[in-house]
Copies of this chain bind each other. A is one copy, B any other.
């Protein structure tokens, strides 16, 4: 027996559960008078925010909410949304932040599935929730209205009490305590699944704490950032920025809706230093009308998740003073857990080369302990050759506990002791990964695999293209052929299919060229992701195998092929 086995146990002095709730107490103690949250004419200090969150926690408990009950919110990016990320876990409950763009059927499913006890409803979304409540099968939650003075729509409150009055039911000196165990649930985020019921991703306190430090690392963030909420506050826990910005004693700038003029105004008014967004929001900002656009002397850090913007957009961003950090992650991984770590030597390269590198999903954050590109069945790592395609598998402390009430899908997602992202990637010799496609989105044409992402990245380089998506279209001869959906820029509406095809011809192998091009708006999920399943429907393909069967077939054929090569 080791000499270190005796008399060196955990105790109250040396072991405390990791939780981001502590960040709020820290900010309130260390930066009591600094501004915590700004929303239009409302302004709070950290001391005030801490007091309000304690009131909220106390009021929630007084309404009978028990340990690990679910409390939901559906709201725009308003102060209450940030307060809920602290007040709900301080009450030992689990926060279910709902996607505001979902329909009432999906919302009813989530409220039933999570057994929500109280829901906080921004007046804007009241009709949808009223409908959802009537559709619910289980016990209905208490409804608290959030009547934001900055919201000028016509919808009416539907709850039994308004948020500010509800807060008054709680005491500002409420004694909260750390969780007994850092593995306890802190939040629940439903993913907008493309098939089947939504899955409820459960976050634990430990991961939420650690990913906050991970965000600080990835963004090279210093004390007191001013963060503009261009990201939906509900999306993957607002990528954990509720907690991260609080940890850094920063200031949250609320934003009810994405509007380029408003965004430029707020950046200027509050000296915004950081914002994060999906590529579509970046497009909105960068392609704003000339009278709205502004250029800054200083640098504003923009974290972009999902796909990286094409070279031309990156160039425009830089010219305006926006520096892009390209990150990659998943709701299941608390948002961003990989990033395109820049190498100073790359500064010398020309724009085109740099944008190719910047478009890669990059390397793991130190808080994600392991990441491999592997055979999805054996979980064996594949070569770092920039060619061999495998599934991106992750392992670490910033991976969810699992899917709520869904042990089968949880087990499948964690097969072999790895979190299976469902993304097909290559790994370059320098260790950076590049997402080639979703397992479900690859196209097989005449036995050849075509990466829809690769075709899209060429389309994005065409000057007329604002957005592009490529999916498989059934074809009797080839099995599948690529079909391109294209949204043109305002000033390029006359572009023809031939011009697009000609452009593709000079930039890719013949079999990869889209056989059909469809112009017009592209369907997106409520979180801004392109809905490829809807586009596939539109190709009117028939006799296609289920997407899961396809995924498995394709992954295997792809990997067998690259391994044989």
Decide yes or no whether A72 CB sits under 8 A from chain B. Answer: no
Size of interface on A: residues with Cβ below 8 Å to B: 70
List A residues 77-106 near B (Cβ within 8 Å): 94
A418 → chain B, closest Cβ, in Å? 5
Given contacts A13-B399, A13-B419, contact A404 B22 (CB under 8 A): no
A7 and B363 within 8 A (CB)? no
* Interfacial chain B residues near A399, Cβ < 8 Å: 13-14
In the complex, how many angstroms separate the beta carbon of A511 from the nearest chain B beta carbon?
35
Given contacts A4-B202, A341-B30, A397-B18, contact A13 B366 (CB under 8 A): no
Over the window 330-364 of chain A, the binary record of Cβ atoms lying under 8 Å from chain B Cβ atoms (1 yes, 0 no) is 00000000000100000000000000000000011
**A46: shortest Cβ distance to chain B, in Å?**
12
User: In the bound complex, how far is the Cα of B431 from the Cα of A400, in angstroms?
Assistant: 36
Within 8 A of B (CB), among A1-28: 2-16, 18, 22-23, 26
- Count this chain's copies in the assembly: 2
Contacts of A11 in B (CB 8 A): 414, 417
- Measured CB to CB, the closest approach of chain B to A25, in angstroms, equals 9
A224 (CB) vs chain B CBs: closest residue: B344
User: Cβ of B69 and Cβ of A13 under 8 Å apart?
Assistant: no
Cβ-defined contact, B68 with A15, below 8 A: no
Determine the chain B residues whose CB is within 8 A of the CB of A4 once the complex forms: 68, 94, 184-185, 202, 401, 404
Interface residues of A (CB under 8 A from B): 2-16, 18, 22-23, 26, 29-32, 66-70, 94, 114-115, 178, 183-185, 202, 207, 213, 216-217, 220, 222-223, 247, 341, 363-364, 366, 369-370, 394-397, 399-407, 410, 414, 417-419, 430-431
A to B CB contacts below 8 Å, 20 in the list: A2-B69, A3-B70, A3-B114, A3-B404, A3-B405, A4-B94, A6-B405, A7-B405, A7-B410, A8-B185, A8-B401, A9-B402, A10-B183, A10-B401, A13-B419, A14-B414, A14-B419, A16-B370, A16-B397, A22-B369
